[in-house]
Amino acid sequence: DSGLLVYDKVSDNFNSLESRLLNSNSLSQITAAFSDRSGLVWLGHRNGDIYVYNSRTGDARKYGEKLSGEVSSFTQTPNDDIYAVTKNGDIAYLNTDSSLKNHLYLEIFCKNTSQISAAYALDDQNIWLGTTGNGLFLLDIRNGSCKQIASPMSEAGNLARANIQTIFSEPNSNITW
């Protein structure tokens, strides 16, 4: 078990990132990874810990606060706000200074969700949330309202019961997968 492996194209080698982080056993249970537009790599752990790695400087640190469960996804809005999502519905706005600015608890707003497996910031106010078994939701982060997205069976299957593992958008287009 080597933790998180980083491929160096110049040397054509894999190196372990584990030795650079505070807890040598921390990277054996990474459940989410995300590279933001500033070059920071956000790593989510099964126990709710978050680690931030600066690939340019090699600096790594444990994020200041633990989330309430397994981190399943990260997303970044066009205004560069970073959100972490846990499987049990904890949605946290992350500051780069290691403090949580805000928590939204999805279970309050969307009673019928199961585990959240994916998140994607559609714009500065809305985040798509994919679940395991309960399809797709659109969360308005301004007021915490959340709605389940349904589709007619003839168009795209039963989206309300879908297992959604990832959400992404094509660069320079209006298409989201």
Q: How do residues 32-84 score in pLDDT, each as one tens digit?
A: 999 999 889 999 989 998 888 887 887 888 887 788 889 999 999 888 889 89
Q: Hey, what are 13's tokens?
A: 């080698």
Instruction: Select from 16, 101, 92 the least CA-distant residue to 50.
Output: 92
Q: Reduced to 3 states, what is the DSSP secondary structure of residue 152?
A: coil
pTM higher than 0.85, yes or no? no
pLDDT, tens digit, for every residue of 149-174? 876 554 555 676 778 888 888 777 77
Give the H or E element holding residue 75. strand 71-76
CA–CA separation, 174 vs 61, rounded Å?
35
Instruction: Select from 147, 111, 152, 100 the least CA-distant residue to 127.
Output: 147
